[in-house]
Amino acid sequence: MTRYVWIALFASLLGGCGVTFSNVPEFNKGLPEDFKRRVLWNETDLFKYNLEQLAGHVIYSKASAAEYDRGPRLVTNGKSPSFKLIDNGQVYHSKVDNGAKAEGSYLAFASTMSAEQTADVSIIDTAQVFIPYEDVPVDELVKIAEASAPQGVKRYYIQGVLLASVTTRYGAKINADASGIVGDTFGAKGSVYNEQQAVGRDFRISLLLIDIDRMAMLKKAPQLNPQAKSAFIKASRADGFQIDRIVGIESAVIPTQD
């Protein structure tokens, strides 16, 4: 029996209980490819209120692959990084089950879900801080790259910071003959699910990083070096990994009120 026949059967059974549910949703939509390439930073408690303080710092990798040290902050005099709120910034919406963990860090929580659970997930970009290409201190960054560093140490410049909200509403499988159901129900995968009323919200920070060593390499190789400054910086960009902690950066941040 196909899942659509099952859904029709459940609809008939639940119809007598006065319960209705939506059409079969699409589960586990893939995240946009550019979204999956973001550098995710796992510290949000304080820094989501102080995004402007993060842009412009140099960071250095430590022995732990996901831990970095804070270096100097390099910004053009009199030119603060620009901050803006993002309108209509939704980048993802889908119902997911534990198979969504394969999509990466933003949906990694799905690995903790049981086979009986689902979640409705919406990811929205809400705010951005960005240092314009013309204000990126390329010469100073190249000088940093020319200074020797311990083998294996990576050096990055934070050109931008992006704050995204992740809203989650969990759902659980219910019996086809259940009564007194509160909230939205929907049929999927041959079963009926009921969504909880409580909504969880989390915030995630991603960093727009320039790989300082890659930038220096391009600077020395005219045949690889794009002529336009913006193209040159884009060619030096790093992506696709996680940072758990940046040691010392909290001392550069002044808390503000929520």
- pLDDT digit string (tens) for the chain, length 258 residues: 444 444 444 444 444 454 555 555 677 888 888 888 889 898 877 677 778 888 999 999 987 778 899 999 998 776 778 889 999 889 999 888 888 877 777 787 888 888 888 888 999 999 999 999 989 998 899 888 888 777 888 999 999 999 999 998 888 777 655 555 655 777 777 777 777 767 888 888 999 999 998 888 887 776 666 677 888 888 899 988 889 888 887 766 544 444
Residue 80 CB contacts under 8 Å (≥ 6 apart), including other chains: 52
Looking at the structure of the chain, the number of domains it has is 1
Domain holding 147, by residue range, is 3-249
By the 10 Å C-beta count (0-12 exposed, 13-18 middle, 19+ buried), 193 is classed as: buried
By the 10 Å C-beta count (0-12 exposed, 13-18 middle, 19+ buried), 164 is classed as: buried
Q: Which of 131, 84, 123, 79 is nearest to 100 (CA)?
A: 123
Question: How many CA atoms are closer than 13 Å to the CA of 47, on its beta-carbon side?
Answer: 27
* H/E element, 96: strand 90-96
In a domain, 254, yes or no: no
In a domain, 213, yes or no: yes
Q: Is 227 helix (H, G, I), strand (E, B) or coil?
A: coil
In a domain, 201, yes or no: yes
Distance CA 33, CA 160 (A): 19
The predicted pLDDT at position 10 comes to 46
By the 10 Å C-beta count (0-12 exposed, 13-18 middle, 19+ buried), 4 is classed as: exposed
In a domain, 226, yes or no: yes
Question: How many CA atoms are closer than 13 Å to the CA of 125, on its beta-carbon side?
Answer: 16
Residues facing 171 on adjacent strands: 118, 195
Say whether pTM exceeds 0.85: no
In a domain, 256, yes or no: no
Whether the Cβ atoms of residue 80 and residue 55 lie closer than 8 Å to each other: no
In a domain, 258, yes or no: no
In a domain, 257, yes or no: no
Write phi, then psi, for 221 (nearest 5 degrees). Answer: -120, 85
